[in-house]
Amino acid sequence: MENLRVLVVDDEADFLETVVMRLQRRKIDAHGVDSGKKALEIVENERFDVVVLDVLMPGLDGIETLKLLKQKKPFIEVIILTGHGSVESGLQGMQFGAFDYIMKPADLDELLEKIQQAYERKRLHEERHGLSGE
């Protein structure tokens, strides 16, 4: 996971901070933003491999953010974070190309495993399209 960069998107400041910090402790280059809009801005300028995205956010919600993220950066893999997200929103998320979901409060080992798998998928995807992940 040398090169892996993770972006965490959640409007709950406490949660965001904790997850980013815990990922960083595991030597993962993780960053956090607190809105879908900011997420879309930051992926324009910086490379991220995996986005961990909260589904319930004010403003641009998780599903909308997911759609726009996938349009902008089709190779980015997205893991949906759900608090009490309904099955309906989950279905939408998977339909719009989310890789997986994880329930809040996210278990770190589980999250790491899913991030790892998402990253593997991203590299496979890039390899197929003749990109070597920069």
Contact residues toward other proteins (CB under 8 A) are 82, 84, 86-88, 90-91, 94-95, 97-101, 103, 117, 120-121, 124-125, 128
Shortest distance, position 94 Cβ to other proteins, whole Å: 4
- Asked if 121 and 99 touch (Cβ cutoff 8 Å), the reply is yes
**99 CA to centre of own chain:** 9
Cα–Cα dist 107/50, whole Å? 17
Shortest distance, position 110 Cβ to other proteins, whole Å: 9
Shortest distance, position 121 Cβ to other proteins, whole Å: 5
Q: Which is nearer to other proteins, 33 or 54 (CB)?
A: 54
Instruction: Lay out the sheet containing 5-9: strands in order across.
Output: 29-33, 5-9, 50-54, 77-82, 100-103
Shortest distance, position 116 Cβ to other proteins, whole Å: 11
Q: Which has the closest alpha carbon to 77: 95, 52, 54?
A: 52
Q: Which is nearer to other proteins, 97 or 133 (CB)?
A: 97
Cα within 13 Å of Cα(42), Cβ side: 21
Q: Which is nearer to other proteins, 33 or 118 (CB)?
A: 118
Q: Which is nearer to other proteins, 65 or 82 (CB)?
A: 82
